[in-house]
C-alpha cells in the first residue's frame, strides 16, 4: 500500500515588533508551575481530541498520550517555562487553552502545542496565547521563534500567518509514524 504523508510547514518569525498579548475581558493568564502538568495535559487533550493533529500525532488523541507529551516537554532540559501558559476564565472555573515552549537552539524558541478548548475558540485566545509565548521567548533572550503545523490545519496556519510567521520549510510526515 502506498504510504500516506501529511505535509507539515515549519514556520518562523523574528522576535521583533511583537504586538501585545492581550486577553479578552473575563479571562486571565495562568503561568507555568510544576503542579500544573496534569492540568495542561487535560487542556491539551480537550483541545486536540478529534482534531486533525490527533491523527497526525496519535498521542494527542488520548488522555494518557497527552499526559506523556506534557511530561516529556516539562521534564526536558529544553523546556522554557516562560513560554508556557494557560488561559483560564476569571473565576478560574475553566481552563480554556494551553501553549508550551522549548529551546530549539541558543537563538531559537520552539512553540510546542497551541490548543484552545472548542467552546472557547474564536475569541482571540489562540492569538493571545501565541503572543504570550513569543514574549516569553523574547524575554529569555531568544531572537527567533519556530513552530510546525500541519498544512491542512487551515485555522492554525491562518493564525500563525496573521501573527507574522512565514513558511521556512515544508516537511513530509508519514501518517502512521505514531509517537509524538
Ligand atoms: C488553532 C486554534 C488554537 C485557534 O484558536 P482560537 O482561540 O480559535 O484562535 P483565535 O480566536 O485567536 O483566532 C481564530 C479565529 O477567530 C477570529 N476571532 C478572534 N477574535 C474574535 C472575536 N472576538 N470574534 C469573532 N472572531 C474572532 C480570528 O480572527 C480567527 O479567524 P480566522 O480563523 O478566520 O482568521 C484552535 O482552533 C485549536 O485549538 N485547534 C485544535 C488544535 C490545533 O490544531 N492547534 C494547532 C496545532 S499547530
C-alpha angle 91-84-159 in degrees, rounded to nearest 5? 90
Ligand 1 atom nearest the C-alpha of 159 is 35
Residues sharing a CB contact under 8 Å with residue 20, sequence separation 6 or more, in sequence order: 131
Residue 98, pLDDT above cutoff 60: yes
Contact (CB, 8 A) for 126 and 116 = yes
**How many domains would you assign to the chain?**
1
Query: The domain containing residue 97 runs over which residues?
Result: 5-174
Does the beta carbon of 116 sit less than 6 angstroms from any atom of ligand 1?
yes
Residue 125, pLDDT above cutoff 60: yes
pLDDT of 179 reads 53
DSSP string, 121-141: TTSSHHHHHHHHHHHHHHHTT
**Is 16 part of a structural domain of the chain?**
yes
Average pLDDT over residues 166-171: 98
Tell me, what DSSP letter sits at residue 79? B
Does the beta carbon of 130 sit less than 6 angstroms from any atom of ligand 1?
no
Does the beta carbon of 164 sit less than 6 angstroms from any atom of ligand 1?
no
Q: What are 129-163's pLDDT values in tens digits? A: 999 999 999 999 999 999 999 999 999 999 999 99
Name the residue at shortest CA distance from atom 48 of ligand 1.
149
**Is 180 part of a structural domain of the chain?**
no
Q: What are 23-65's pLDDT values in tens digits? A: 999 999 999 999 999 999 999 999 999 999 999 999 999 999 9
What separation in angstroms does the CA of 36 have from each of 130, 162, 170? 19, 30, 34
pLDDT of 180 reads 52
CATH number for the domain spanning 76: value is 3.40.630.30
Does the beta carbon of 131 sit less than 6 angstroms from any atom of ligand 1?
no
**Is 20 part of a structural domain of the chain?**
yes
Beta bridge partners of 86: 30, 98
**Is 179 part of a structural domain of the chain?**
no
Q: Band of the pLDDT at 178, cuts 50, 70, 90?
A: low
Ligand 1 atom nearest the C-alpha of 111 is 48
Name the residue at shortest CA distance from atom 21 of ligand 1.
123
Residue 173, pLDDT above cutoff 80: yes
Does the beta carbon of 122 sit less than 6 angstroms from any atom of ligand 1?
yes
Amino acid at each position: 500500500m502506498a504510504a500516506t504523508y501529511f505535509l507539515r510547514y515549519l514556520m518562523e518569525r523574528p522576535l521583533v515588533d511583537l504586538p501585545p498579548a492581550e486577553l479578552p475581558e473575563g479571562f486571565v493568564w495562568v503561568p507555568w508551575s510544576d503542579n500544573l502538568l496534569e492540568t495542561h495535559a487535560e487542556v491539551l487533550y480537550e483541545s486536540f481530541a478529534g482534531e486533525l493533529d490527533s491523527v497526525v500525532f496519535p498521542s494527542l488523541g488520548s488522555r494518557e498520550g497527552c499526559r506523556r507529551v506534557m511530561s516529556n516537554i516539562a521534564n526536558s532540559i529544553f523546556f522554557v517555562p516562560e513560554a508556557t501558559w494557560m488561559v483560564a476564565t476569571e473565576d478560574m472555573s475553566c481552563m480554556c487553552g494551553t501553549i508550551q515552549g522549548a529551546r530549539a537552539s541558543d537563538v531559537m524558541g520552539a512553540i510546542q502545542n497551541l490548543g484552545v478548548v472548542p467552546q472557547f475558540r474564536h475569541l482571540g485566545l489562540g492569538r493571545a496565547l501565541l503572543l504570550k509565548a513569543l514574549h516569553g521567548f523574547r524575554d529569555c533572550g531568544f531572537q527567533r521563534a519556530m513552530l510546525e503545523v500541519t498544512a491542512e490545519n487551515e485555522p492554525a496556519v491562518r493564525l500563525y500567518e496573521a501573527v507574522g510567521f512565514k513558511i521556512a520549510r515544508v516537511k513530509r510526515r508519514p501518517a502512521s509514524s505514531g509517537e509524538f
